[in-house]
Amino acid sequence: MTLLYVCVRPQQGAAIAEYESFRTAARLEQGQLETHDLVRDPLPADAFDRYSGFFVGGSPFNVTDPETSKTEAQRRLEAELDRLATAAADPAGPAVLFTCYGIGVATRALGGELSRAHPEDTGPSTVSLTPDGERDPIFGGLATRFTALTAHKEGSATPPPGAVLLATNEPCPVQAYRYGDHLYATQFHPEPTAEAFAERMAVYRDDGYFASEDYDVVAGRVLAASLTEPPRLLREFARRFDR
């Protein structure tokens, strides 16, 4: 069994780069991290038997978009991610780390509330561990306060019922949580280097995350950020769940 990166980005260039960011940050060889494009194909029927853990990447999609405005591909992949979250919530299920857009799908699947009331600007943000985060097997090795990269239009004020809040900040109170022993979710992006994130910004510069004419200013803030801690949680997740 190995790990699987689940792509939910329609832009294939950005998806390929995100896979490489996850693989590099987790210090995995290509054979240790496979990839699946959920935008175009459902998960294999035997995915939960073939893979011991899953990384779910980000996306320009929003869970809070009206259902009538969602594409068929978005509705289908959200149903697939719902299934993945439900499986990971089972004590006998696979380990899953949902990131950015993925935390929204997981929160909804677990009965939590999601809204447009907690967006964050594109760029570096300060994240703080909760006391539970300091004791968590994955997050506990991180600094209690660290810089991470964010860019999202929706978020949550509280974690889903039964989940344990691991990290927080003022703009978006739910930065990370754990449900059970092996479902993790982060609002921030744990995988990219500053350079990779700036390149991703260029792909989405007209998607409303920031004013397109401010790209150079925003990218400058990103490139100046120190991002030592977020990749460490990916390495620990991979170490614990790559069987």
The tens digit of pLDDT for each residue in 175-211 reads 999 999 999 999 999 999 999 999 999 999 999 999 9
The tens digit of pLDDT for each residue in 47-92 reads 999 999 999 999 999 999 999 999 999 999 999 999 999 999 999 9
The tens digit of pLDDT for each residue in 112-145 reads 999 999 999 999 999 999 999 999 999 999 999 9
Q: What helix, strand, coil percent values describe the chain, rounded to 5? A: 35, 25, 40
Domains of the chain: 2-118+153-192+229-241 (3.40.50.880)
Range list of β-strands (E), 22-170? 33-37, 51-56, 95-99, 120-129, 145-152, 164-168
pTM for the complete prediction? 0.97
- Please state the φ and ψ torsions of residue 191, each to the nearest 5 degrees: -95, -35
